[in-house]
Amino acid sequence: MSELSPQAQEVFWAFNQASSGKPDDWHYLPAIAAALRAAADQVVLPKYQYAEWELAHAICEEIFAIADELEAQ
């Protein structure tokens, strides 16, 4: 398993602390990735897609990159 980026690591640790407190539950990574994608779809896109499409797209791309990295582990 490769090293996670600092952003993906923060998401992983935050989830782990809230759910089980175990820092080694790697089987949660696909669930975290799915939650990140859903949050981007439900929060970022509805608020910014018409007013500031370029900003919304950039934010979603960063969130999706973290989700992709978590799923790849």
Residue 46 lies in a domain: yes
Q: Is residue 38 part of a domain?
A: yes
Give residue 37's domain range.
23-72
Using one digit for the tens of pLDDT, what is the confidence trace for 30-55?
A: 888 888 888 888 888 777 767 788 88
Q: What is the dihedral of CA 18, 4, 68, 44, to 10 degrees?
A: 50
Q: Does some domain include residue 68?
A: yes
- The span from the CA of 73 to the CA of 71, in Å, is 5
- Please report whether residue 3 resides in a domain: no
**C-alpha span between 52 and 17 (Å, rounded):** 34
pTM for the full model?
Answer: 0.69
State percent of the chain over pLDDT 70: 86
